[in-house]
Amino acid sequence: MKQFLAVGTLMLALAGPAFAGSCPSLAAKAEEAMKTATLDDATKTKVTELITNGKADHEAGNHADSVAKLNEALKLLGVAS
């Protein structure tokens, strides 16, 4: 049981930097897609909000939240993450 907990803890510790590295690339991808997107005003506002909040979460160290928000923005833009 102790081994299982140790491995789980190690995996979580290593996941943080992996998320941290993907946030800026996801944000850039979403911002690039926004340049050519044809969205209604409500969706455009939502996507802009998700990108802004995703970048803020990244800066605050909340990388899992950042990735989730940026992936949602990409989904609304119709871009695969």
Model confidence pLDDT, tens digit, residues 53-78: 999 999 999 999 999 999 999 999 99
**pLDDT tens-digit profile of 28-55?**
999 999 999 999 999 999 999 999 999 9
Cα-based angle 13, 15, 20 (whole degrees, multiple of 5): 110
Give, to the nearest 10 degrees, the angle between helix 63-77 and helix 2-36. Answer: 40
Domain count along the chain = 1
Count of CA atoms in the C-beta half-sphere (13 A) of 45: 3
**pLDDT tens-digit profile of 2-21?**
675 555 555 555 554 444 57
For 32, the domain range is 2-77
Q: Residue 41's pLDDT is what?
A: 96
76 and 47 in contact (C-beta within 8 Å)?
yes
Q: Residue 7's pLDDT is what?
A: 59
